[in-house]
Structure 1
Amino acid sequence: MTTVAKQDPADSARIKAIEEKLLANPEMAKLIDELGTSTTDANDLVRGLLQASINRGLNAEMDAHLGYGHSDRDGKTAAGQGNHRNGYYPKRVDSNYGPIDVAVPRDRNGSFLPTMVPKGSRRLTDVDDMIISLYAGGMTVRDIQHHMITSMGVDISHETISAITDAVLDEVMIWQNRQLDDFYPVIFLDALRIKVRDGGRVVNKSVYLAIGVDMDGIKHILGIWLAKEEGASFWANVCANLATRGVQDVFIVCCDGLKGLPQAVEATWPDSMVQTCVVHLIRAANRWVAYGDRKAVSAQLRKIYTAPTEDTAIAALEEFEASELGVKYPQSAKVWRDAWDRFIPFLQFPPMARKVIYTTNSIESMNNELRKATRNRVQFTNDESAIKTLWLMICNIEDKRAAKRAKQGKRVAASSGRLIEGRKVANWKQAINQMAVAFPDRFEAYL
């Protein structure tokens, strides 16, 4: 049995009041009569009403800009002769209901900037917002074009759709170059692989995301960087970018053994530590192990990263190497040996702090969402297109997460917003206290 939702009486009253006002307006009533007798197409009626309301709204904007109405001579005199109306110019904009012709008022000084139909715009914003939303959800330009034709009867070219999505590039640049905090206790770095057209051929490139945890435990996406090959020079540019944007110090950078990153971090922030993600080490070690033995191998490896000291950890590694499983899978032990210098900083931390830097899962969850969203795209046309698309996808993912948290009734930190995950790292208060006690010289200036 289908249940029909009852309309809110307050909404019904508002709708009725609006209808009465429309019918009471002689101009609007005349327009409705004309449209109703000239066509049976309801689309034309709505388009005509929209056109009339936009023209009326533009004139109201001009009245507010000048400080007096169109026929208000007394108001014009009171406002002085510094500025006044200077006719109109015609403009055609697309909408969900077809093209609309509007008359945009002008002023003598040329200082009037309409908001209903902004200068340079060729479409009403609802169409633009829909296209950007579909693009952010992972649909390709061709998919969007097909969707607009089939669902709305609006035929928009590939070039127009690209131009609409390109409009966010300025916003991307503002976000990518925004000021950051001067200190982040933890920064997580991770990458995903995408295909980008470069110089007439398609190549694999890595997209790197950085998530910084501030002193309150809130996670922020600090930036997006694209590279064909990682190395010391690339990471030096990334670190220089963060430093230029205000990051004066980082306590620890957690990553997956990225080549050249430790040297770049230590050169930019000499007191920082680079920590290899423990979960990545476990996965890399198990890559060489038969499925039936992975549980047993992981149990022995656990003794290494739960060891209280470096001496205990190396003893646990040697014990694994000498065991039957260690002899059977020597490459698993070699993974830990090769990463040892970047693993041992982990052992200096107290238990709660270890839980924070144990894994880069907080950034991997974002990357997994991005992989799902990019699945439809065989390739990106260029680097700018890749950055733009990924930024829009991140906005879309974060909006969905915020809506989910709001539905569940979870509180969101006051500083959270778009591109912020909106909740603190688990057990952050205990972790930051333990780190501050263990390393007082590093935290004293920021507490």
Structure 2
Amino acid sequence: MDEQQRSELVDGLLESLGDEHGQLPEAVSDRLVDGLIRGKRSEGEILGSDGVLGELTRRLIERALGEELSEHLGYPAGHAPAGGTGNSRNGGTPKTVLTANGPVAIQTPRDRQGRFEPELVKKGQRRLAGLDEKIIALYAGGMTTREIETYMGDLYGPGVSRETVSRVTAGVLSDAKEWQARPLEAIYPILYLDALIIKIRDGNAIRNFACYLAIGVNLEGERDVLGMWFQQTEGAKFWLQVLTDLKSRGVGDVLVCCVDGLTGFAEAIEAVYPKAWVQTCLVHAVRAALRFVPYKDRRAVAGDLKRIYTAPDRDAAWDQLEAFAERWDPKYPMISAAWTENWERIVPFLAFPPDVRRAVYTTNTIEALNRQIRKIIKTRGSFPDEDSARKLLYLAITRAQRKWRHTYNWSTALAAFRIHFGDRIPDTAI
């Protein structure tokens, strides 16, 4: 089959694509497809950029661009402009675009007045939009620019360099900054706060930076990452800045704030949200207690601590703490002393029904997010700058949030919040 015959078959195939359901009629499609692949056996002849699929891709693009130009001019190809004057077609410009089928050489149509701005393949564009989305998806999965360049080259041939990847992902940074500054809801019944450590190059050295994260649960029980902030160390002083930023973005009230045992954390929260209940994460509290305990006693100590935080109410929990101290103070007096000192930050969750407590007594929600982020960044070692870290963490967060479910048993939790916090929960939320 010569090129003219193949071109006619492709035109016939394109004409057959216009039924009302957008589906290809079986009888027509089989005849045309048989003609297109007749005599073709190798993968390159059928699927390659110079093969049948590449030719079909080229003609589809050119046909779509031709339709765009017809709409721009106001009359179809082969017809004269209305009145015999005005703008008209003016040939085409050769261009190679990278598609999912590899590089494809096309002719982009021109108009005589130079006003035509195509949408499918814009001026200066060298890749179809779907490839940019694939590049961003690979970047979000933790691949470096070098790895993406190699991967895309193996799949589609040359056309995606490290510089290209950097330009494509640069748009993510503006999205991340807009996301960071977006307005927030007026009330979050639960707020989880935590930080994870990442490595960022600072001058000639690679240093540890704390990435501060906040997850809020709104009145509908939906979880949302409210922002991320970078600082060289984790400390209560910077958490005060984070909370002040949340306040300035519209968060007027927080009911329960679940945090780790960082010194000064509770005071920073209460400085911005004085009515918030500060709940120390029990996982962190138990973990900190067991640091003092050798392996031979660890299971027994953990079991006795569990009796404290699974007690039916505050009074019963205090009795269990006293029993714990009586048994273990001779060996590990620092555990009961620490729990006694922080008692008012450990037991707020006991005011709620048992099936609501799991929503507020641990930062597992944000710890799970941290684990997902670490899986993505673990192969990188370090980031060249804060902007690079911000781009990847933003993509990791948005990817993780797609899989999040509604907060467990939320209707019961909201009713309990209304009992304890009164009109701080608006009537419209119940």
Q: TM-score, normalized by length of structure 2?
A: 0.80
3-state SS, counterpart of residue 381 of structure 2: coil
- For 1:217 and 1:107, the matched residues in 2 are separated by 58
Q: Say if 1:63 and 1:224 are closer, same or farther in 2 by CA, change over 3 A.
A: farther
User: What is aligned with 2:3?
Assistant: none
Retained in 1: the 8 A contact 2:255–2:421? Answer: no
1:326 to 325, 329, 332: 329
Cα deviation code 1:85-113 (max 9, x no counterpart): 78766654333422534425469595x65
3-state SS, counterpart of residue 188 of structure 2: strand
1:221 to 218, 221, 225: 225
User: Does the alignment pair 1:352 with 2:355?
Assistant: yes
3-state SS, counterpart of residue 126 of structure 1: helix
- For 1:312 and 1:249, the matched residues in 2 are separated by 31
Retained in 2: the 8 A contact 1:182–1:246? Answer: yes
> Once the 2 structures are TM-superposed, how far is the Cα of residue 285 of structure 1 from its aligned partner?
1.0
User: What is aligned with 1:160?
Assistant: 164
**Structure 1 range deviating more: 187-196 or 171-180:** 171-180
User: What is aligned with 2:50?
Assistant: 44
User: Does the alignment pair 1:130 with 2:134?
Assistant: yes
Q: Say if 1:310 and 1:47 are closer, same or farther in 2 by CA, change over 3 A.
A: same
User: What is aligned with 2:425?
Assistant: 443
Q: Say if 1:446 and 1:11 are closer, same or farther in 2 by CA, change over 3 A.
A: closer
Cα deviation code 1:244-285 (max 9, x no counterpart): 332221111111134554344333333222221112111111
**Structure 1 range deviating more: 275-284 or 97-106:** 97-106
- For 1:347 and 1:107, the matched residues in 2 are separated by 76
2:62 to 27, 52, 55: 55
1:358 partner letter:
Y
User: What is aligned with 1:380?
Assistant: 383
**Structure 1 range deviating more: 368-377 or 300-309:** 300-309
User: Does the alignment pair 1:393 with 2:375?
Assistant: no
- For 2:22 and 2:124, the matched residues in 1 are separated by 36
User: What is aligned with 2:108?
Assistant: 103
Cα deviation code 1:214-242 (max 9, x no counterpart): 11212122222222123344223322332
User: Does the alignment pair 1:241 with 2:248?
Assistant: no
Aligned-residue sequence identity (percent) comes to 40
Q: Say if 1:160 and 1:13 are closer, same or farther in 2 by CA, change over 3 A.
A: closer
1:225 partner letter:
W
User: What is aligned with 2:4?
Assistant: none
Cα deviation code 1:130-180 (max 9, x no counterpart): 222222112222222232333443363222222222222222223222332
Q: CA RMSD in A?
A: 3.6
3-state SS, counterpart of residue 204 of structure 1: strand
Retained in 2: the 8 A contact 1:210–1:221? Answer: yes
How many residue pairs get aligned? The number is 403
Q: Say if 1:108 and 1:261 are closer, same or farther in 2 by CA, change over 3 A.
A: farther
Unaligned 5+ segments in structure 2 are: 1-20
Q: Say if 1:261 and 1:63 are closer, same or farther in 2 by CA, change over 3 A.
A: farther
1:383 partner letter:
E
2:102 partner letter:
Y
3-state SS, counterpart of residue 168 of structure 1: helix
Write the mapping of 1:61-72 to structure 2, written as runs, cut at 5 A. 61-65=68-72, 67-70=74-77
2:279 to 275, 281, 296: 275
> Once the 2 structures are TM-superposed, how far is the Cα of residue 202 of structure 1 from its aligned partner?
0.5
3-state SS, counterpart of residue 43 of structure 1: coil
Retained in 1: the 8 A contact 2:49–2:104? Answer: no
3-state SS, counterpart of residue 243 of structure 1: helix
- For 1:261 and 1:68, the matched residues in 2 are separated by 69
Q: Say if 1:181 and 1:20 are closer, same or farther in 2 by CA, change over 3 A.
A: farther
Q: Say if 1:113 and 1:345 are closer, same or farther in 2 by CA, change over 3 A.
A: farther
> Once the 2 structures are TM-superposed, how far is the Cα of residue 444 of structure 1 from its aligned partner?
4.0
- For 1:190 and 1:436, the matched residues in 2 are separated by 26
> Once the 2 structures are TM-superposed, how far is the Cα of residue 341 of structure 1 from its aligned partner?
4.1
Q: Say if 1:150 and 1:93 are closer, same or farther in 2 by CA, change over 3 A.
A: closer
- For 2:253 and 2:114, the matched residues in 1 are separated by 49
- For 1:50 and 1:287, the matched residues in 2 are separated by 63
User: What is aligned with 2:97?
Assistant: 93
- For 1:375 and 1:297, the matched residues in 2 are separated by 33
2:290 to 283, 286, 290: 286
Structure with greater contact order relative to length (CA < 8 Å, sep ≥ 6): 1
- For 1:57 and 1:238, the matched residues in 2 are separated by 49
Retained in 2: the 8 A contact 1:353–1:432? Answer: no
